[in-house]
C-alpha cells in the first residue's frame, strides 16, 4: 500500500537483529519451566509446542543456566531461520504490500465515513503517549435506535500486523455488501460495531518502521525501559501471573493497572457504548480464547456460553477454541477485564501461523475472519440472556469469587473472609456440584474445602 519512508539507519538497525531464528520446542511441563526461567521471548504457544526467539541473549541465558546440552535444547527445531524475515520481505516494499500502514488505515476509515454517511462514523478513541489519535470507526445504521453494541480490536501487540487486517477487512465486508447482501444489511441495521483496528498505534508504527519484533507500546516514562504490554495492563488480577514488573521485559505490566492511554481508551469506549460482546485480534497460533486468562484453576461460570460461540467461530476459521489460561496463565489481558468488570462476552483470536503471514495468505485469513465476525455479530447479541440467577449459578459465582480471593489472600485477608462467608451459605452438596461444574483443579478444591471447615468451626466457636 502507500509509500513509507524507511531511513538507512532503520534499515541498518533491522539488519542487526536479522539473524535471530525462531525455535520450536514441545510444550511439556519441563520445557514450560525452562522457557519461563530463561524469560524467553516466546512468540507462540499451542498445547503441542512453544516457539521462542533464539537471539544472542537467549542463547547466553540458556548456556548460563546449563541447558545447552540438556534434552530441552536437543528437542528444539528451527521453524524460521530468521524471525525478521517475515517482516523484511514486506518492509522492502515501499508501502508494506498488502498490509496497511497507519496512514492508510486513517485514510480508508475516513473514506468509508464519507462514502457511507448513515452507516459509518469515524471516532477518536484517545491519544497515545507519542500524541497520536487512536482512531476507530463506528458501523451501524444510525437511523435505527435499538442496536446491539460490539467491540472489535486489533493490534494490542505491535508486531502482530495481521491483527489489524481482519478488522479492516470486516469493515469493508459489511459496508460494501450492505446493499446486496441480506445478512450484512441485517447486521449493520441492528448493531453498533466499534472497530479499533490499531489500538497500539505508537508500537504499531515503530514495528512497521524498522523494529519489526517490537511488542509493547512506546511509553518512555518507565525508569529507562520503554513500553508497556497493553495486554498485561488491564485492571483485573493485574500482575498476578504471566506478567513482568521489569520495564525492560516484553510483558511489562506497567506502573499501575490501567496506566496506559490505550487501556484507558478501551475503558472509556466501554463506558460510552456498554458493549455486549467483544473480540481482540492478535497473532499467532490459530486459536480462539476466552476467560479466565489469569488462572487455570477453574473455568469461568459462563464457560459453556463462551465455548459454544467460540467453537462456532473456531469452526469457521479452522482454529482451536479454548480457555486462555489453559494455554498459559497471564493476568491483565483484555478478556478477563471486559468480562469480569463489565460482563462482556470477550474473546481473543490468535490469527495465522506467523505474526505477519505472507501476502498470499492474507486474503483467506481476512475472508475467514470476516465470516467468523458475521457469525459473532449474529450469535453474540445477548449472550447471557438465558442465564438464570438461580442457586446453581449463585454458587458458581461464589466459587469464582473464592478463587479470586484465594489468589490475593497474601495481602488481602478481608476479601477471603468475605468469600468464605458467602460460600458458607450453600450446602456441601451445592458446593461440590459447583466445583465440578467449574472443573476446579483438585488442589484448589481441597484447599477450599479445608479452609471452609476451619471457617465454619471458627464461626461455631464464636457463636
Ligand atoms: O500473551 C498474550 O497477550 C496473547 N498472546 S500473544 O502471543 N498475541 O501475545 C494471549 C492472551 C491470552 N490470554 C491469556 N493467556 N491470559
Ligand atoms: Zn498479541
350 catalytically annotated: yes
User: β-strands 287-290, 320-323: how paired?
Assistant: parallel
> What's the chain's Rg over C-alpha atoms?
23
Query: Residue 51 has what DSSP assignment?
Result: E
Give the angle 248-250-254 at the CA atoms, nearest 5°.
70
44, 83, 231, best to mutate for ligand 1 pocket (most atoms within 8 Å of CB):
231
Residue with C-alpha cell 435499538?
A: 146
* Three-state DSSP state, 158: coil
Residue 463 in this model has a pLDDT that exceeds 70? no
Give the count of beta carbons closer than 10 Å to the beta carbon of residue 19: 13
Over residues 395-421, the pLDDT tens digits come to 999 999 999 999 888 888 999 999 999
Q: How confident is the model at residue 57 (pLDDT cuts 50, 70, 90)?
A: confident
Over residues 125-180, the pLDDT tens digits come to 999 999 999 999 999 999 999 999 999 999 999 999 999 999 999 999 999 999 99
Nearest to 280 by CA among 184, 217, 369: 369
Peptide bond into 29 cis (omega under 30): no
Ligand 1 centre and the CA of 16: distance in Å? 27
32, 49, 53, 157, best to mutate for ligand 1 pocket (most atoms within 8 Å of CB):
157
pLDDT of residue 78: 83
Break the chain into its structural domains and give their ranges: 2-83, 102-379, 391-461
Residue 77 in this model has a pLDDT that exceeds 90? no
Residue 18 in this model has a pLDDT that exceeds 60? no
State the pTM of this model.
0.93
Q: Give 2-83's CATH code, choosing from 2.40.50, 3.30.70, 2.20.25, 1.10.3470.
A: 3.30.70
Question: In whole angstroms, what is the distance from residue 171 CA to residue 137 CA?
Answer: 9
User: β-strands 22-26, 277-283: how paired?
Assistant: unpaired
Residue nearest atom 14 in ligand 1 by C-alpha distance: 293
Q: Which strands form 42-45's sheet, in the order they lie side by side?
A: 42-45, 49-53, 22-26, 77-80
CATH fold of the domain at 102-379: Aminopeptidase (3.40.630)
Amino acid at each position: 500500500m502507500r509509500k513509507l519512508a524507511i531511513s538507512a539507519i532503520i534499515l541498518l538497525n533491522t539488519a542487526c537483529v536479522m539473524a535471530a531464528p525462531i525455535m520450536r520446542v514441545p510444550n511439556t511441563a519441563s520445557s514450560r519451566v525452562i522457557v519461563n526461567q530463561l524469560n524467553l521471548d516466546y512468540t507462540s504457544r499451542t498445547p503441542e509446542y512453544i516457539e521462542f526467539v533464539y537471539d544472542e541473549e537467549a542463547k547466553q541465558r540458556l548456556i548460563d543456566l546449563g541447558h545447552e546440552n540438556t534434552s530441552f535444547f536437543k528437542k528444539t527445531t528451527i521453524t524460521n531461520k530468521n524471525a525478521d524475515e517475515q517482516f523484511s520481505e514486506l518492509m522492502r516494499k515501499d508501502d508494506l504490500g498488502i498490509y496497511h500502514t497507519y496512514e492508510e488505515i486513517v485514510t480508508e476509515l475516513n473514506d468509508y465515513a464519507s462514502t457511507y454517511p448513515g452507516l459509518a462514523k469515524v471516532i477518536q478513541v484517545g491519544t497515545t503517549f507519542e500524541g497520536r489519535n487512536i482512531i476507530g470507526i463506528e458501523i451501524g445504521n444510525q437511523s435505527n435506535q435499538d442496536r446491539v453494541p460490539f467491540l472489535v480490536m486489533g493490534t494490542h501487540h505491535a508486531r502482530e500486523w495481521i491483527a489489524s487486517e481482519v478488522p479492516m477487512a470486516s469493515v469493508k465486508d459489511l459496508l460494501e455488501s450492505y446493499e446486496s447482501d441480506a445478512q450484512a444489511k441485517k447486521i449493520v441495521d441492528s448493531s453498533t460495531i466499534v472497530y479499533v483496528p490499531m489500538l497500539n498505534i505508537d508500537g504499531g508504527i515503530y514495528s512497521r518502521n524498522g523494529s519489526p519484533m517490537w511488542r509493547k507500546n512506546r511509553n518512555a516514562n518507565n525508569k529507562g525501559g520503554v513500553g508497556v504490554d497493553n495486554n498485561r495492563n488491564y485492571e483485573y488480577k493485574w500482575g498476578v501471573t504471566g506478567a513482568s514488573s521489569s520495564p525492560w521485559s516484553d510483558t511489562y505490566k506497567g506502573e499501575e493497572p490501567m496506566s496506559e492511554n490505550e487501556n484507558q481508551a478501551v475503558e472509556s469506549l466501554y463506558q460510552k457504548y456498554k458493549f455486549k460482546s467483544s473480540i481482540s485480534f492478535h497473532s499467532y497460533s490459530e486459536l480462539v480464547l476466552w476467560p479466565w486468562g489469569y488462572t487455570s484453576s477453574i473455568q469461568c461460570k459462563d464457560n459453556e456460553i463462551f465455548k459454544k460461540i467460540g467453537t462456532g467461530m473456531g469452526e469457521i476459521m479452522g482454529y482451536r477454541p479454548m480457555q486462555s489460561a489453559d494455554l498459559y496463565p497471564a493476568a491483565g489481558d483484555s478478556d478477563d477485564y471486559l468480562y469480569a468488570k463489565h460482563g462482556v462476552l470477550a474473546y481473543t483470536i490468535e490469527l495465522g501461523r506467523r505474526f505477519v503471514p505472507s501476502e498470499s495468505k492474507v486474503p483467506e485469513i481476512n475472508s475467514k475472519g470476516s465470516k467468523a465476525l458475521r457469525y459473532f455479530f449474529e450469535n453474540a447479541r445477548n449472550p447471557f440472556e438465558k442465564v438464570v440467577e438461580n442457586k446453581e449459578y449463585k454458587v458458581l459465582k461464589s466459587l469464582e469469587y473464592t478463587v479470586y480471593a484465594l489468589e490475593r489472600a497474601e495481602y488481602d485477608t478481608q476479601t477471603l473472609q468475605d468469600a468464605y462467608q458467602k460460600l458458607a451459605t450453600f450446602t456441601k452438596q451445592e458446593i461440590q456440584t459447583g466445583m465440578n461444574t467449574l472443573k476446579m483443579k483438585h488442589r484448589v478444591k481441597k484447599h477450599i474445602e479445608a479452609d471452609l471447615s476451619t471457617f465454619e468451626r471458627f464461626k461455631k466457636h464464636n457463636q
